[in-house]
Amino acid sequence: MLTSLSIKNYALIDSLHVDFNDGFSIITGETGAGKSILLGGLSLILGKRADLSSLKDASQKCIIEAVFNISNYKLKSLFKAEDFDYEEQTIIRREILPSGKSRAFVNDSPVNLSSLQLLGARLIDVHSQHQTLQLTSNDFQFQVIDALANNEAALLKYKAELKAYKTLQKEYKELLDFQAEAIKEHDYNSFLLNELTEANLVEGEVETLEEEYETLNNIEGIKEKLSEADQLLSDDDLGVINALTTLKNVFQKLSGFSSKYEELFNRANSSLIEMDDLYSEVNDFQEHIDADPNRLEVVDAKLKILHSLMQKHVASNVSELIVIKDALEEKVSVTENLDDTIQKKQSEIASQETLLNTISKDIHDKRLKVIPQLKKQLETILVDLGMPNAQFNIEAVYGDTYFENGKDELSFLFSANKGGSFNELKKAASGGELSRIMLAIKSVLAKYIQLPTIMFDEIDTGVSGEISNKMGDIMLQMSKSMQVFSITHLPQVAAKGHSHFKVYKEDVNEVTQTNLIKLNHDERIVEIAQMLGGTEMSTSAIAHAKELLN
């Protein structure tokens, strides 16, 4: 509920602060006294765009601040989603600077206008004869029916499952799109994979084959050099082995004279052993090296294949080719198994549809059950509001489409006159009738859900005293469960309020200012008497005012 409102430097308001109570509050004042200014200031708190022309003193900033008690409004999730600091006593402040810049704050944290509008809609509902579009909205009509049907939990469940359903549908479409593209590439990918598979790729194979190729391709030269090495090692006259044998024998004879010579002997002996081993390997190579034109041809062909594949796939080695081959295997496998994946996704979608159908049918059944109750309650209230022939034709037809709030298509038709045809509300009802219908709907809603503070702005304009009396009774009844304001010119309504505020103008230092004061009991008698009989109050007007207040 709105507990206080402060306005500084706005339109005709220099400085104003007022505290409000719960229950039914009345706001009265002569035409032009500034009630629209008060609503204009309040609308800034609710997120309306600021206008520099609103500043009373263009050199000073305008500040509008409202305090709300939101402990019963279940707004913690909204505050969390919008990253507001949650406080049960929440303060909203708007500032309009002389530069034209506007700032908004919730509990001293800056917020943008879209977030403020979202919060404001949950705090105050300002309703006038010119603001009945909400009533003709299909979404609002569903909200009314679902409030009576107690569908809140079922709708939350439905919306969560609908979100999951849409995610499955998106994934299914992506699979179909992927399959269409994959089929185009499948044959080519299969061809590439077969090429790589047939190449029998082995890591490091290129280096091994290139070494073998060099050997086979230069076999005669290698043989010649091995023979030369054999001769250098084993020649009887000049061979290294014979020379080292002689040298070893010389050092052996010297080794008995000194340990220094023994060291020379050991080194010569080691060298001779190494040369013997080298000679054995040369002999082994000579025995096993032979020209093999067929093998050379095979090696050459395999190298050409590998180099061709590396060039084709822009790979620097066989290891990279193996990675590419593995990726192609996965692509081909995924494409070949897509049908199974798609069938599985179709099955998941079908299961989700079954779940959605179950929830939406439950929502539908509850709606059907309460529609007659809603129709009866509205028509009964409208009889008291001077519309004895008002009738509603409300139908919820269960269809095939998954809407955001179920599978129903709603027909909310109205006829104001006996024997008249039913039509959409915006076509069948006048502005005044729409206003009374909205009052009837809001009064019904107040019995079932916690509504925000509601401000009725002269919705009783143009109605008779008796009907205005009924309208006042309805607003008074609503105020038992919520905070209700009524801006009115009718004394029958004004007398029903728990609190009464008066908007008035006064000239201060030859400057006109708008003010708002709370009236005490005696002041209310005077105000209501003036509403009854004008400024020249008669004794009967005062007596009538007292009677209305009592």
Q: Angle, nearest 10°, between helix axes 240-254 and 259-288?
A: 160
Report the CATH number at residue 104.
3.40.50.300
3-state secondary structure 184-200: HHHHHHHHHHHHHHHCC
Per-residue pLDDT tens digits for 326-365: 888 877 777 677 788 899 999 999 999 999 999 999 999 9
In terms of DSSP bridges, do strands 62-69 and 89-96 run parallel, antiparallel, or are they unpaired?
Answer: antiparallel
Residues 312 and 221 in one domain: yes
The answer as to whether 102 is a domain residue is yes
**Residues spanned by the domain of 290:** 180-338
The answer as to whether 524 is a domain residue is no
Which residues 6+ apart lie within 8 Å of 456 measured at CB? 127, 128, 439, 475, 484, 485, 486, 487, 488
The two tokens of residue 9 are 């430097």
The answer to whether 13 touches 513, Cβ cutoff 8 Å, is yes
Q: Provide the pLDDT confidence category of residue 276 given band limits of 50, 70 and 90.
A: confident
Q: Provide the pLDDT confidence category of residue 366 given band limits of 50, 70 and 90.
A: very high
Give the span between the Cα atoms of 68 and 91, in whole angstroms: 6
The answer as to whether 540 is a domain residue is no
3-state secondary structure 64-108: EEEEEECCCCCCHHHHHHCCCCCCCEEEEEEEECCCCCEEEEECC
Residues 332 and 187 in one domain: yes
Q: Angle, nearest 10°, between helix axes 465-478 and 338-384?
A: 130
The answer as to whether 504 is a domain residue is yes
Residues 332 and 185 in one domain: yes
Residues 192 and 319 in one domain: yes
Residues 84 and 196 in one domain: no
The answer as to whether 542 is a domain residue is no
The answer as to whether 550 is a domain residue is no
What's the total number of domains in the chain? Answer: 3
pLDDT reported for residue 329: 80
Q: Provide the pLDDT confidence category of residue 523 given band limits of 50, 70 and 90.
A: very high
Residues 261 and 312 in one domain: yes
Per-residue pLDDT tens digits for 121-153: 899 988 876 556 677 788 889 999 999 999 999
Name the domain boundary from 338, 372, 394. Answer: 338
The answer as to whether 79 is a domain residue is yes
> Which of 88-92, 306-310, 318-322: highest mean pLDDT?
88-92
Name the one residue in this structure whose structure tokens are 């190298």.
303
**How confident is the prediction for the chain on average, in pLDDT?**
87
In terms of DSSP bridges, do strands 453-457 and 484-487 run parallel, antiparallel, or are they unpaired?
Answer: parallel
Give the span between the Cα atoms of 490 and 447, in whole angstroms: 26
3 state SS of 504: strand
The answer as to whether 536 is a domain residue is no
Name the domain boundary from 449, 483, 511. Answer: 449
**Does pLDDT of 95 surpass 70?**
yes
The answer to whether 345 touches 172, Cβ cutoff 8 Å, is yes
Residues 214 and 111 in one domain: no
Residues 155 and 174 in one domain: yes
Name the domain boundary from 449, 483, 502. Answer: 449
The answer to whether 115 touches 336, Cβ cutoff 8 Å, is no
7's enclosing H/E stretch is strand 2-10
Side-chain-side CA neighbours of 518 within 13 Å: the count stands at 11
Per-residue pLDDT tens digits for 395-428: 999 999 999 999 999 999 999 888 778 888 878 8
Q: CB count, 10 Å around CB of 134?
A: 14
Per-residue pLDDT tens digits for 286-297: 777 777 778 778
Residues 478 and 417 in one domain: no
Residues 238 and 387 in one domain: no
* Percent helix / strand / coil, the chain, rounded to 5: 55, 20, 25
Residues 208 and 324 in one domain: yes
Name the one residue in this structure whose structure tokens are 């309020």.
497
Residues 492 and 514 in one domain: yes
The two tokens of residue 79 are 């505050």
**DSSP alpha helix (H) spans, 406-478:** 425-428, 431-445, 465-478
